[in-house]
Amino acid sequence: MTTPQPAAQPQPTNSNAVISLVVGIVGLFFCGGILCPIAWYLGAQAEQQIDASGGAEAGRGIATAGKIIGIIGTVLFLIWLVIVIIALIAGTTVWFIND
């Protein structure tokens, strides 16, 4: 008779990966992209930590998603910022400025 194998323990998810995803989503949808560079940084850092763990940590997909959302949000924020600066330099009224 064979002895049953113990159940495999799940790998813990890297906390920076989860934080990156949450900060990226919040930054993109609720804070106008201001938090997205933080999500980008945390996602990249989490990917490095997961790779360095040698399989002891999970969550690389979550870290990558947070990083990509951070990149997209940062680019959109910078585009918006350039448009606002150009509009202010040109002397036009921007929709969020009350005269």
Examine residue 76 and state whether it is found in any structural domain, yes or no.
Answer: yes
In a domain, 49, yes or no: yes
Q: Which domain holds residue 49?
A: 15-90
Question: Residue 12 — φ and ψ, nearest 5°?
Answer: -70, 140
Q: Looking at residue 43, what is its pLDDT?
A: 96
Tokens for 99? 């005269």
- Residue 8 domain-assigned? no
Look at residue 98 and tell me if it is in a domain: no
Ranges of the chain whose pLDDT falls below 70: 1, 92-99
Assigned domain for 1 exists = no
pLDDT value of residue 99: 52
pLDDT at 95: 62
